[in-house]
Amino acid sequence: MPRSAFVCGAQMDDLELLVFTVAGIIIGVDTEQVAGMLSTERAEEVGMEVSRFHEKIPLGGRSVHYRSPKALLIKDETPYAVIIELPDDILSVSLDSIRPLPLLLQTYTSCQAIWGVAVKEERIIVLVDFLRLHAARERGRESRPDSQ
């Protein structure tokens, strides 16, 4: 029986992740952050802010090719879409299997959107928080002199 945790006043045993792979890296995002999924063309048609995953989070020079791209709609004050590879799975991971980023990695602000790692059946799933990423970028825009 996994250990429970109280998060925002609610008991939570597991985290449900939408899992996809970009440039060989397995990424997981909390399904609670996901409003839905569209084709990339449809997302652009409806006038959503659309960007590719690797444009939001640098992948260290890895070459990226989306074979079956999908637009992941992120729940936010102003919803926006991130183009990802067609998701592999929706997985439930226990809190016991989640690890924070090692200290040296936490130091680097470009990792802000990465909040931890889940270990599931020998796989390492990098956990992304799109809301945190978007908030950081908005703060960056507000603090730039030319935005005033």
Partner 1 sequence: MLMKTPVKSQKNKNDLILDELKRRKTRKKIVEVEEDTVKVVIFSLLGELYAFKGSDVKEILTLVPIHCVPGSPDFIPGVINIRGDIESVIKINKFLGLSDSEPSTKSRIAISETDGIRSGVLLDSIEDVMDIPASSVSPPLSTLSKEAKEYVSGQFLYGDKSVTILDVGKIFGRLEL
Residues within the interface to partner 1 (CB under 8 A): 23-25, 27, 54, 57-62, 99, 101-105, 107-108, 110-114, 117, 119, 122, 124, 126, 128
User: Kindly report the CA angle at 118 between 34 and 75, in degrees rounded to 5?
Assistant: 10
Amino acid identity, residue 117?
V
Nearest distance in Å: CB 97, partner 1: 8
Task: Compare residues 90 and 124 and give the one whose CB is closer to partner 1.
Answer: 124
Amino acid identity, residue 108?
Y
Contact (Cβ atoms closer than 8 angstroms) between residue 127 and residue 101 = no
Nearest distance in Å: CB 72, partner 1: 15
Which pair of structure tokens corresponds to residue 116?
A: 């931890």
Task: Compare residues 8 and 103 and give the one whose CB is closer to partner 1.
Answer: 103
Nearest distance in Å: CB 140, partner 1: 14
What is the rounded CA–CA span in Å between residue 49 and residue 10?
Answer: 32
Task: Compare residues 54 and 134 and give the one whose CB is closer to partner 1.
Answer: 54
Task: Compare residues 38 and 134 and give the one whose CB is closer to partner 1.
Answer: 134
Which pair of structure tokens corresponds to residue 78?
A: 């102003």
Nearest distance in Å: CB 145, partner 1: 25
